[in-house]
Amino acid sequence: MKRSVIVFGPKGSGKTHHAEQLRQHFGMKCIVDNWDGSRPFPSYDCLVLTNNAHPQIAARGNYYVLNKALLKAAGVETP
């Protein structure tokens, strides 16, 4: 089991469009789209897409802003 990965981006930024590519890159089993914090958080094996930037959400798992997640998936190291 792997800790879930959270990807943040504003509405319309391409999270859903790139979800499958990111799921495969991070080795997750499922995708949770439009997670807003009101539903239980899937702690393991899910790519969690959100447009909610609340700090408590970032503290729940591996957290990436969409553009950094896409660069990571493309093999580009970022600071």
pLDDT digits over 4-20, tens only? Answer: 999 999 999 999 999 99
d(CA 8, CA 35): 10
Q: Which is nearest to 7 in space by CA: 56, 53, 55, 66?
A: 66
Per-residue DSSP letter, 53: -
Query: In sequence order, which residues have a C-beta less than 8 Å from that of residue 34 and are 6 or more positions away?
Result: 49, 50, 51
pLDDT digits over 6-55, tens only? Answer: 999 999 999 999 999 999 999 999 999 999 888 888 889 999 999 987 76
Q: Which two tokens stand for residue 38?
A: 């009101």
Count of beta carbons in the 10 Å neighbourhood of residue 33? 11
